Amino acid sequence: MTTPPNTGPRSARRTFRRILHPDMAPMVGLGFLLVTFFLLAAEFSKPTVLQLSMPVKPSPNDEAVGCKLIDAMTLVLGKHGKVWYYPGVLAAGETPEICITDFTSTGLRQVLLKQKRESGELIVLIKPSDNAKYGDIVNALDEMSITDQYQFALVDITQREEKLLRKNGL
């Protein structure tokens, strides 16, 4: 008796392998979602910065450039978000009328807009006192930007101004 061919345990049957084609559409969608998330996260994490241009320190040979006292306004930043202001600068033997306001939209902003309408070219001197916080300086600079005030300076407060403001309740 003869055995038929290809009937043993190791038969030479042809096995057909199925070629798998995975659907990559969900993976591509997930990739785009991740890219979008990281781009938006990077855009929202950028800090907002207020541009501040500081003048170049003059050399000793330069002539001093003065400003008109009429066009100046002095802001003294105090504690608890209060702003003391007076027109002009503090001259020797003079006691100006000091007014008090705050950083609300009906406070310092309206004072600056009114003064700018009246004088035309307004120069604002911002003087933070020892009791002022960093946020008060930022708020004052924001008000300069909002009211389109281009001529302003951060100046140190003098001892005469400190005495005057203590006398008026700083």
Phi and psi, residue 41, nearest 5°: -65, -40
Q: Which of 168, 166, 112 is nearest to 139 (CA)?
A: 112
Domain assignments of the chain as residue spans, ordered by start:
72-167
Q: What is the pLDDT of residue 97?
A: 79
Q: What is the pLDDT of residues 105-156, one digit of tens each?
A: 888 888 888 888 887 788 888 988 888 888 888 888 888 888 888 888 888 8
Q: CA geometry: angle at 67 spanning 153 and 65, to 5°? A: 90
Q: What is the pLDDT of residue 61?
A: 62
Interhelix angle for 134-146 vs 108-119, to 10°?
Answer: 40
- Per the listing, tokens 């911002």 go with 126
How would you label 89-119 residue by residue, b for 16+ Cβ within 10 Å and e otherwise? Answer: bbeeeeeeebeebebeeebbbebbbebbeee
Q: What is the pLDDT of residues 4-60, one digit of tens each?
A: 555 555 656 677 778 888 888 889 999 999 999 999 998 888 777 767 666 667 666
Phi and psi, residue 118, nearest 5°: -75, -40
- Per the listing, tokens 């389109």 go with 148
Q: Put the strands of the sheet holding 82-87 in their side by side order.
A: 99-102, 82-87, 72-77, 123-128, 152-154
- Per the listing, tokens 């909002």 go with 146
User: What gap in Å lies between CA 153 and CA 141, rounded to an integer?
Assistant: 10
Could you say which architecture CATH assigns to the domain 72-167? Answer: 2-Layer Sandwich (3.30)
Q: What is the pLDDT of residue 58?
A: 65
Residues in the chain: 170
Q: What is the pLDDT of residue 38?
A: 93
